[in-house]
Chain A
């Protein structure tokens, strides 16, 4: 970043970041034992990371092209189904108790999920969304239509029933730290999530491509007038976002140990809450929002199971009262 020094560095807005430990600490007195709290916190972080993977593409696409894709959820379901098919086809190496054998099933599954979701994303952008740029009403309608059609096609291809999906042998079970049991899979999810976030952060902040994307989010017309093709940039972001949603879908399927065609739609509600909390278009906000929602869901799921989703809506309302445009508001209103 040789010319980066010419600009004053953006001040880090740390207040929203402090919300994450604040919520975790606030929950501590209510939970009877420390080990339970540790377990719940790890579970919350893992859930948050997976939600972040699913939501990241949605928020970037919105920031860049002002498009709200209500069908983003189907990328999650398609990824989950594709990954599940591969994993189930390679059952022997899934059940083997060696990491290498497990990986030989997981890696192709993840690749298949990301490839199929990414391809679907490309197709979707091309066929469904491109004709309705700039018209929010039609976007919502058309992407809802796409959601219906793809969800029905999933039924045609994979059947209407829930498919059970056992986790590979080496990532089942838990670590025991002190008295707290921490599921291995959740640790893995946190690690993958951190890796994705780090990669995204590096690309967005340390590469020319990222610079263009951020500039595009800030002011599309200006970037265009400087001669960059924001359209092709956008298609790339759309595909990458869909692929990430596919990755999130596989991870979520392994987390739930089953897939059904509704997961996409069910997750959409959570994703919207995360996006609104974080600020539409903001990747950092999306990350913080996802972690907040994940933690909140796990704490309330333990303390008052009936309020789990309600707590997230409450969180959203509180955040909006504090910052009406989300934790990290982005350029355009």
Chain B
């Protein structure tokens, strides 16, 4: 049963299994164990980013292609929900319509980009996706009638998912069972389901071919696999995963704007999460995303303390300033690429 659920890709390391169980338990029990708005936000963000990063890992870790357009697909999901909710009204039908439109747009774009540029080398694809993604970012900020420009859009969701809705009068274990909780569990369960689906994809024969393309493209082609087709398919699946992550994030935040979806900073975050967690393993995405999002939210507090403690020493307070947390993760990122190319998960599995 468990083996089927994980598509036969068991953690293969006791420590990793414990870590993954802890993440899962943390996500499922978060509303009860860590009450409070901030920690619930962190938990939901972890769930969304696990899916986002896992879908990116399908490209980077399994297929060996670097795309900078992943936030674009993330944004398409977010804006799909946002625009549908804001323009068509907060109903289930318009929600479904928005999601369907976003998914089809993402698939079409990923197909077009893939067919145009995946024939050539990895670098070309990286450059093209960077250009297209920044074009999309500008498009979103210019079409302000649709997208709300730089301010983004705030919208209502179907009643069931709004915090004002009480599902049951009695609080359970001191936690009110309201729409916020419902949308939290919707996000977590949907992300989990998509994650397991991606796990299924990478452990299928299709996933094996992707791995073989990563390892030796020439040889895979010689064996008769059409590498362009496989890569394009991987690109489309990755894009759909990112779109769904965007949809979930939009449902959770009830807001979609350039800073939460399209910004290049998020692309950098995704890269950091994949590499630190471990490329080429779906579990790496889960571990990386969790560590990163938690660090993003709590490392800054720590750094503020350290920065205050280092007062008087030249340059050190500046280096430890809470806004410079990305500096240290960047250093960690480079070290990971050099010394732990398989990231945390690879290290754990090697033991």
Contact = CB atoms under 8 A, between A and B. Distances in A.
Interface of A: 68, 70, 128, 131-132, 136-138, 140-142, 144-146, 148-149, 152-153, 155-157, 160, 265, 268-269, 272-273, 275-276, 280, 306, 309-310, 313, 316, 320
The SS class assigned to the B binding surface is helix
Interface string B300-320: 000000000000000100110
Contacts of B126: 68, 70, 140
Interface of B: 60, 64, 66, 116, 121-124, 126-128, 130-132, 134-135, 138-139, 142, 264, 268, 271-272, 275, 315, 318-319, 321, 323-324, 326-327, 329-331, 333-334, 337-338, 341
A268 B267 CA distance: 15
A265 B127 contact: no
Nearest to B320: A156
A144 B330 CA distance: 9
Contacts of A269: 130-131, 134
B130 to A, nearest CB: 6
Given A156-B315, A156-B318, A149 B330 contact: yes
Given A131-B338, A156-B315, A313-B132, A140 B123 contact: yes
Contacts of A141: 66, 271, 275, 333, 337
Across the A-B interface, the 9 shortest Cβ-Cβ residue pairs: A152-B327, A148-B330, A145-B334, A149-B330, A272-B127, A145-B333, A156-B318, A306-B142, A68-B123
B66 A148 contact: no
Given A148-B326, A156-B319, 4 more contacts: A136-B121, A156-B327, A276-B128, A306-B142
Contact of A142 (B319, B321, B338): B338
Nearest to A146: B334
Contacts of A140: 66, 122-123, 126
30 contacts: A68-B127, A132-B338, A137-B122, A138-B337, A140-B126, A141-B66, A141-B337, A142-B334, A142-B338, A144-B268, A145-B331, A146-B334, A148-B268, A148-B326, A148-B330, A148-B333, A149-B327, A149-B334, A152-B327, A152-B330, A156-B318, A156-B319, A156-B321, A160-B323, A265-B264, A269-B130, A272-B131, A276-B124, A280-B123, A313-B132
A142 B326 contact: no
A35 B51 CA distance: 55
B42 to A, nearest CB: 22
A65 to B, nearest CB: 13
A272 B126 CA distance: 10
A316 to B, nearest CB: 7
Nearest to A307: B142
Contacts of B127: 68, 272, 275-276
A145 B134 CA distance: 19
A55 to B, nearest CB: 12
